[in-house]
């Protein structure tokens, strides 16, 4: 066996050509959402926006809804395993709109869920739609928006 001697050095690889710098804002960044989050967004965005607009200026309402879906996106995988995903998402929206500290003056705010149900009912949503978006049983929502007192025994236990 004869030892190999290194041959003459080959041609040097030229350094990569410098890339032109992109101007800020020239190319938007696109993010692919999981299909389940995209579907959740499609189902609830309109209602969340209506609720936010009832409490905030248009610009602040848009920011609150965007912040809500941003927070959901950050924890989406974890939230998918929760039974209370919709209730958690609704609580996030309420937190971002600060509607508990600044309720609408013409709607009683003695019970937070009742307040939300009455606001959404005033915006034209049915009790079933309110139950879907808040993550609560429909019977509870019907009880809370009823015009006359009903016995508390009619309520189903809260899933939370």
Predicted local confidence at residue 91, as pLDDT: 96
Predicted local confidence at residue 8, as pLDDT: 65
Predicted local confidence at residue 53, as pLDDT: 96
Q: 50 CB contacts (<8 Å, ≥6 apart)?
A: 120, 123
Domains with residue ranges and CATH for the chain: 35-154 (1.20.140)
Predicted local confidence at residue 160, as pLDDT: 58
Q: 136 near 87, Cβ under 8 Å?
A: yes
Query: Quick check: helix, strand or coil at residue 55?
Result: helix
What averages of pLDDT result for each successive group of 10 residues across the chain (160 residues)? 63 67 63 85 96 96 96 92 93 95 90 95 96 95 81 66
Predicted local confidence at residue 33, as pLDDT: 73
Whole-prediction pTM value? 0.73
């Amino acid at each position: 066996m004869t030892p190999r001697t290194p041959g003459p050095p080959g041609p040097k690889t030229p350094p990569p050509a410098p890339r032109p710098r992109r101007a800020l804002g020239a190319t938007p960044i696109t993010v692919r959402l999981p299909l389940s989050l995209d579907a959740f967004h499609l189902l609830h965005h309109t209602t969340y926006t209506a609720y936010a607009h009832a409490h905030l200026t248009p610009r602040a309402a848009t920011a609150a809804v965007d912040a809500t879906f941003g927070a959901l996106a950050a924890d989406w995988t974890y939230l998918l395993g929760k039974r209370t995903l919709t209730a958690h998402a609704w609580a996030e929206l309420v937190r971002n709109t600060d509607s508990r500290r600044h309720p609408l003056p013409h709607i009683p705010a003695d019970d937070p869920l009742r307040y939300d149900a009455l606001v959404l009912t005033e915006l034209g949503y049915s009790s079933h739609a309110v139950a879907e978006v808040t993550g609560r049983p429909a019977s509870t929502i019907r009880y809370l928006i009823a015009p006359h007192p009903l016995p508390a025994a009619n309520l189903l236990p809260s899933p939370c």
